Amino acid sequence: MITFLFDFDGTLADSLSTIVEITNRLAPEFGYRPTPLEELDALKGFSARQLIRYSGIPLLKIPALLRRLRVELKACDPPIAPCAGMPAIIRQLHAQNHMLAVITSNAPEVVHAFLIAHGLDHCFFSVDGGGTLFGKGKLITKCLVRHQLVPAATVYVGDEVRDIQAARFAGIRPISVTWGFNSREALAAAQPDWLVDDPDALAAIARTLSCGI
């Protein structure tokens, strides 16, 4: 049995366009450069720190911006759609008795609303979130300790370079998915243990890891 810890935005939830729309709307209030839609693909090669420098947002305003973003995402109607193919693979992994949890920079309330809206809430034993932009590593570590998870049998699935870094900080192996916020090239350069282009690959990874335990 493998424990899959999932990032939320860009991994489970297809929220990129919604987040760009919200952050562009808030740009004048918080004093940073909005993201032109025509530049979006190029920016997928940027790390989170590079995006902060690109936008010019004052570092002291980032916590307040994240709070506003979480509030706006919670109020989304209709709810954010899941990434293509993810509901099916989540249900498959759960049916195979793998343990699933969410660890995200977003608010747990946003995640719970999403999971309920798409009939996935019963698949996850835990949702942790609301930390700082670069605090996922500590959230993963706390989850490992709280639920007495075995690091060798636990992976973190994310779509950004910072997810790879967070997994390694916590001593578990990262799986990077290519349908989210960072480009395939940027993820490959950070050398995750697995780089997957299709959700079905997660089931294959689960089989491989289960055989090795």
Q: Which residues does the annotation mark as catalytic?
A: 7
For 34-61, the DSSP string reads: ---GGGHHHHTTS-HHHHHHHHT--GGG
The helix (run of H) or strand (run of E) holding residue 190 is: none
Q: Give the angle 167-92-8 at the CA atoms, nearest 5°.
A: 40
Q: Is 151 exposed, middle or buried (0-12, 13-18, 19+ CB in 10 A)?
A: middle
Nearest to 13 by CA among 101, 106, 81, 113: 81
The structure tokens 């967070």 sit at 166
Q: Assign residue 20 a region: left if phi > 0, alpha if psi is -120 to 50, beta otherwise?
A: alpha
165 contacts 54 by C-beta, under 8 angstroms = no
Is 193 strand, coil or helix? coil
